[in-house]
Every structure is written in C-alpha cells, then in structure tokens.
C-alpha cells in the first residue's frame, strides 16, 4: 500500500477496493432475482444502487419478502453452499384450509424434482396460512411441495434468512445490515471478511 509506482513519469494510483455492502431488500412480486439487465424486471435495476451489487440466492418472481444483496462475492458462496443448511423462513397462504395431515406431510418431506425434500419446521398460523422454515433451496420448493399435496400457493413471503429478519421493512425498500446483524451472520456461517 505504501509503494509508489510511476509509468512514463506519471504516478499510478492503486484502485481502492470498494467497501463491502450487505443489504436487506423487501422484494415485491414481479421483480426477478437476476443481474441480467435484458430482463426489464431485474433486481439490480430495481434497487438502482450506485455500487455493483447482486442478490444472494433467489426468490421466484411471484414471491415477495427478504432477499439479501451484496457486492461481496465470497459471502454468496458461503451462504448458498448446500451443506450449510441455513434457515430461511416463509409465511405462505394457500387456496384452501389446511389441517394436521398437511402439516405432518409437509414437515416430513415431499417428493419433488427427483428427490425428497428435507424435513422442515412448519406451523399453521391461520385457516389457510402457515409458517415454514427450510434449510434447503430447491427451485420453487414450497410451491412444488404444496402442489404435490393438492394446494396452490396464493402468496409466499420470505421473512427471515439465517438471523436477518424482514420485520417492518416496507415492500420495495432496502436497508443496510446493522453491525450487530453482520457480526451475528458472519459468526453463524463461519465467515471471515478480507
């Protein structure tokens, strides 16, 4: 850092590494979790941050709720690693009343996409609403699990990723993670910043 370099008599300044950004976004339905700017509903343009940031994981276009955004590519791999089994919590409304059999079958694992889903925590919180905590992230997992049991998802909202909670963040808004949230997150996933 203290070295000085000249080329053709001009001093070359080292580019400073941008400060790491860790952000929570309340993604509304209709936004696609892609960095592909050809998709007019892409999440990067929606957030319109001055730094180049990208989502950690996905929420399907029809779903809403918490998605983490960052410019730190290393943390993405740590969070998304399959064997990490990090919790993600959702509130789901389906098209008809649910009973004890639905809760039991959903929590025990459902055959989708050529595999059986891992056991999960599920709690009925209304006539046709439930809270579910997954440690797995198969493509449209909750929708496919419900469909297998003859239910259609009406709304799906992610309210927590590991220790980060959506709480009362308004739909479409984003905020930087607090120092305590980052510290707890890094501890839980065993992540060391560079």
Active site residues: 60
DSSP-derived pairing of the beta strands 111-112 and 22-27: unpaired
The gap from C-alpha 26 to its chain's centroid, in whole angstroms, comes to 10
Token readout for 54 is: 């990208």
Q: How far is 102 from 14, CA to CA, in rounded Å?
A: 59
Give CA separation, 191 vs 3, 21, 110, 183, in Å.
30, 15, 32, 9
128 C-beta neighbours (distance < 10 Å), count: 16
């Amino acid at each position: 850092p203290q070295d000085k370099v000249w080329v053709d008599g001009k001093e070359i300044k080292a580019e400073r590494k941008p400060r790491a950004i860790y952000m929570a976004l309340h993604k509304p339905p209709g936004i696609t979790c892609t960095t592909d700017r050809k998709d007019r509903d892409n999440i990067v343009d929606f957030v319109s941050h001055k730094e180049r940031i990208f989502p950690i994981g996905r929420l399907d276009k029809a779903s809403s709720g918490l998605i983490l955004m960052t410019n730190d590519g290393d943390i993405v791999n740590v969070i998304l690693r399959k064997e990490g089994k990090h919790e993600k919590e959702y509130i789901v409304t389906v098209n008809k009343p649910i009973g004890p059999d639905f809760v039991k079958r959903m929590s025990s694992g459902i055959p989708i996409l050529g595999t059986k889903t891992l056991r999960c925590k599920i709690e009925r919180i209304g006539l046709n609403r439930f809270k579910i905590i997954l440690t797995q992230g198969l493509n449209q997992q909750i929708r496919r699990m419900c469909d297998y049991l003859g239910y259609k998802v009406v709304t799906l909202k992610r309210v927590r990723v590991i220790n980060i909670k959506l709480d009362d963040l308004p739909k479409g808004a984003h905020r930087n993670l607090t120092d305590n949230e980052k510290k707890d997150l890094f501890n839980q996933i065993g992540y060391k910043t560079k």
